[in-house]
Amino acid sequence: GVDGLVENIVVDKSYRQKGVGRALMDKMFEKAREYGWRFAEWTSGDHRLEALSFYRHLPGVKWRTQSRYVKVL
């Protein structure tokens, strides 16, 4: 299997809190499974507090640091 890393996903402020970010991540998980990924990983800088709050609500687990998350696919 293959592992995948997602970087630099940003939702425009006018679309935040409307499900756009979650829809993007859910589609990424779906496509990752189709492509045979074993894991999906996403990260954020520790200074991006809104992003970290969003990521904490996704179905993944913290991995080694506060800003690195992994989901078994």
| pLDDT tens, residue by residue, 55-72 | 888 887 666 666 777 788
Nearest to 2 by CA among 67, 62, 73: 73
Position 2 scores a pLDDT of 66
* pTM (2 d.p.): 0.74
E strand or H helix at 51? helix 49-56
Confidence at 3, pLDDT banded by 50, 70, 90? confident
| pLDDT tens, residue by residue, 15-46 | 999 999 999 999 988 998 898 888 888 887 77
